[in-house]
């Protein structure tokens, strides 16, 4: 696997470079991260038997600066349409600051849209019980919150009635069992603020194990931004592929290496959808995606197919 490090590292640099170049022209906005209080509406409906159909319908959004001054709100998403059919995988790509993570935050209802609507199985997310919405979505990111407690407790957070055997099985599926066994007290090792500090890749695998237990209808993946080694990337990708199979999946892709097999790739630039299609469609279209991906076409083609598919042993 060592020989993959060179071209992949180079590709990552090029993509970073491109993204930084794109981003440097953007205004820096000093807005604070103060979500509006999101609550259930008085007649919020239950979300039962979720099929997992997702729909962003002409979604416009800007983070509120809190001053009540409309002019202080910069539009971050502008008329965005995205559809994900049950079981499909849709990837969101685009330069830094394009609004990719915001797409994820709106699905979780950390914020509400300014205009348009987001629907799950045809229900506007603002009309369903927040607890039902969030329990139907498995959210995996490197920023996963670990509370003060043992590794086992942190994994069990995905399903509180899980027993030790379930926890270990989930950790195995998440390719986390190996590193957990290497910790001083295994599954009983304390993590979190006052415990062992885990690396980004390890936290992500704890998040995956949690999500395996949660068994949600919808998977929301906010891909890692910080570098993990090639071996860890394999492990993470393999467990994510298993988790995403037959599940509605929305991938927020900060790097391009994992999106090739998505049913649809949505390309965001400056809050707008500028292209959408399969990897092949978008390469043929020779637009922003092709730019992001193709700068190093020679390098990409020299990679083994199974690495790009992320399913190699």
Residue 289 as a binder of ligand ATP (CB under 6 A): the answer is no
Residue 109 as a binder of ligand ATP (CB under 6 A): the answer is no
State how far the Cα of 224 lies from the Cα of 59, in Å rounded to an integer: 25
Q: Which stretch binds ligand ATP (CB under 6 A): 5-13, 89-97, 228-236, 287-295?
A: 89-97
**Interaction with ligand ATP in 14-43: which residues (CB under 6 A)?**
29, 31, 33
Residue 102 as a binder of ligand ATP (CB under 6 A): the answer is yes
Residues 311, 29 contacting (CB under 8 angstroms): no
Chain centre distance of CA 174: 16
| Composition of the chain by helix, strand, coil, percent to 5 | 40, 20, 40
**Interaction with ligand ATP in 47-66: which residues (CB under 6 A)?**
63
- Nearest Cα residue to 206 out of 172, 231, 234: 172
Residues 253, 222 contacting (CB under 8 angstroms): no
Residue 99 as a binder of ligand ATP (CB under 6 A): the answer is yes
Build a one-symbol-per-residue string for 241-260: x at contacts with ligand ATP by CB under 6 A, - elsewhere. Answer: -------------x------
Build a one-symbol-per-residue string for 179-218: x at contacts with ligand ATP by CB under 6 A, - elsewhere. Answer: ----------------------------------------
Query: Which own/partner pairs from 38-44 qualify as long-range (CB within 8 Å, at least 24 positions apart)?
Result: 38/109, 38/110, 38/111, 38/112, 38/130, 39/130, 40/129, 40/130, 41/126, 41/127, 43/127, 44/127, 44/128, 44/129, 44/130
State how far the Cα of 261 lies from the Cα of 280, in Å rounded to an integer: 10
* Among positions 98, 146, 155, 208, the unique one binding ligand ATP when judged by CB under 6 A: 98
By CB under 6 A, the count of residues binding ligand ATP is 14
Least distance to ligand ATP, CB of residue 230, Å: 21
Residue 33 or 193 having the CB closest to ligand ATP? 33
Q: Record the tokens describing residue 94, joined without a space.
A: 């685009």
Residue 97 as a binder of ligand ATP (CB under 6 A): the answer is yes
Residue 29 or 131 having the CB closest to ligand ATP? 29
Residues that bind ligand ATP (CB under 6 A): 29, 31, 33, 63, 76, 94, 96-102, 254
């Amino acid at each position: 696997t060592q020989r993959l490090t060179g071209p992949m590292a180079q590709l990552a640099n090029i993509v970073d470079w491109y993204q930084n170049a794109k981003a440097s022209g953007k205004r820096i906005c000093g807005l604070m991260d103060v979500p509006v209080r999101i609550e259930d509406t008085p007649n919020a409906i239950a979300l039962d038997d979720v099929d997992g159909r997702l729909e962003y319908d002409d979604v416009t959004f800007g983070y509120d600066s809190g001053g009540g001054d409309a002019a202080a709100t910069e539009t971050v998403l502008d008329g965005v349409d995205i559809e994900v059919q049950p079981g499909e995988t849709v990837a969101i790509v685009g330069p830094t600051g394009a609004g990719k993570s915001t797409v994820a935050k709106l699905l979780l209802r950390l914020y509400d849209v300014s205009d348009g609507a987001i629907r799950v199985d045809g229900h506007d997310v603002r009309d369903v019980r927040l607890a039902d919405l969030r329990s139907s979505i498995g959210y995996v990111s490197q920023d996963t919150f670990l509370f003060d407690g043992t590794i086992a407790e942190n994994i069990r957070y995905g399903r509180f009635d899980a027993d030790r055997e379930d926890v270990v099985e989930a950790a195995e599926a998440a390719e986390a069992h190996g590193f957990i066994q290497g910790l001083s007290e295994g599954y009983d090792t304390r993590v979190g603020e006052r415990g062992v500090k885990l690396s980004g890749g390890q936290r992500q695998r704890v998040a995956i194990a949690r999500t395996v237990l949660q068994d949600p209808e919808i998977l929301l993946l906010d891909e890692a931004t910080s570098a993990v080694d090639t071996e860890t990337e394999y492990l993470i990708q393999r467990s994510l592929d298993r988790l995403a199979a037959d599940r509605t999946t929305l991938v927020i892709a900060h790097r391009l290496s994992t999106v090739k097999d998505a049913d649809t790739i949505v390309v965001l630039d400056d809050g707008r959808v500028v292209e959408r299609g399969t990897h092949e469609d978008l390469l043929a279209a020779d637009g922003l995606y092709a730019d992001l991906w193709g700068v190093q076409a020679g390098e990409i083609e020299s990679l083994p197919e199974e690495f790009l598919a992320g399913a190699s042993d």
